Amino acid sequence: MPGRPEQSPTSAVWETSPAAALRVRPGFDLAGLDRRSTPGWTAGKSAGKALLSAHGDRLSELQERLFADGRTGGDRSVLLVLQGMDTAGKGGIVRHVVGLVDPQGVQHHAFGAPTEEERSQHYLWRVRRALPEPGYLGVFDRSHYEDVLIVRVKELVPESEWSQRYDEINAFEEEVAASGTRIVKAALFVSLDEQRERLAKRLERPDKHWKYDPSDIDARLEWPRYQEAYQAVLDRTSTDVAPWHVVPADRKWYARLAISQLLLDTFEDLDLGWPRAEFDVEHEKARLAAS
């Protein structure tokens, strides 16, 4: 039947890119964040999911170009830094966004409480060791920011010490960026209510028990102090080379879509071609034919 051509479900577009809509600006107030909101996106959930899966092919190709670049002497890499309270969806980002690309090109690192060996070193020691090599997409599930989050809230080191760390982290990230790494920082924020539901699910379902940690409740009890610690992170460590993006995370599909777009934009911006062959292609074809 003639009529309007069917609209592709992936034709929906951002009204404002997440790079702009989610970027922390001076004066940003975390307390005012609506954690169910979908900044920059008005096309709804199914269009959002469709765009996320449509990102797969392009992201995958660009990641392969980055990998090829690393194999041929390039010094570039991308580092995705994920922060968020428990149940914020960091693992879902790894599975559903990072999972769109070839795992061979990913260097994933989850940061838990430091081991004894790590504790005997400077807090950035273990972070430096986990930085992506040239050609890789590095992913930090938690990061050096724990050293000004849980460490601050639980007073694991004196204030005189943690208060120095913001400047130190900025200097560290500047150095990392100068070495060829694009840093994409995303902080996922769930509401206290949504977190209760997600934790309840973990308790109800035997297949989710392994994800539950009794200390998650302790963190809930300290919620205001964590929010304050996050506010300080956003105030003090959102820099030009490594700006923070605040991602409302009560809607998982939105958080995944937004972070996939941030990553895609970063990869596009690298403007990577394919490395030129360092051999004579025609000559090799002739050799192959004769073999």
Min dist CB 219 to ligand AMP, Å, is 7
Report the C-alpha gap between 180 and 78 in whole angstroms: 8
Note the residues at the interface with ligand AMP (CB under 6 A): 86, 111-114, 142, 146-147, 150-151, 156, 213
Closest CB to ligand AMP among 9 and 91? 91
Q: Which does 150 bind (CB under 5 to 8 A by kind): Mg ion, ligand AMP, none?
A: ligand AMP
Closest CB to Mg ion among 62 and 199? 199
| Nearest Cα residue to 184 out of 126, 120, 226, 247 | 247
Min dist CB 123 to ligand AMP, Å, is 6
Closest CB to ligand AMP among 86 and 194? 86
Min dist CB 215 to ligand AMP, Å, is 6
- Which residue minimizes CB distance to Mg ion? 86
Given CA atoms 233, 238, 243, 247 in this order, what sign does their dihedral have? positive
Q: Which does 111 bind (CB under 5 to 8 A by kind): Mg ion, ligand AMP, none?
A: ligand AMP
Distances (CA, A) of 91 to 71, 80, 108, 178, 188: 29, 13, 11, 28, 11
- Sheet architecture: strand order including 77-84: 106-110, 137-141, 77-84, 181-189, 244-248
Closest CB to Mg ion among 86 and 146? 86
Q: How many CA atoms lie within 13 A of 173 on its CB side?
A: 26
Min dist CB 138 to ligand AMP, Å, is 17
What does the block give as tokens for 96?
């559903």
Min dist CB 174 to Mg ion, Å, is 30
Min dist CB 219 to Mg ion, Å, is 9
Note the residues at the interface with Mg ion (CB under 5 A): 86, 213
Closest CB to ligand AMP among 140 and 267? 140
Q: Which does 45 bind (CB under 5 to 8 A by kind): Mg ion, ligand AMP, none?
A: none
Q: Which does 112 bind (CB under 5 to 8 A by kind): Mg ion, ligand AMP, none?
A: ligand AMP
Closest CB to ligand AMP among 69 and 86? 86
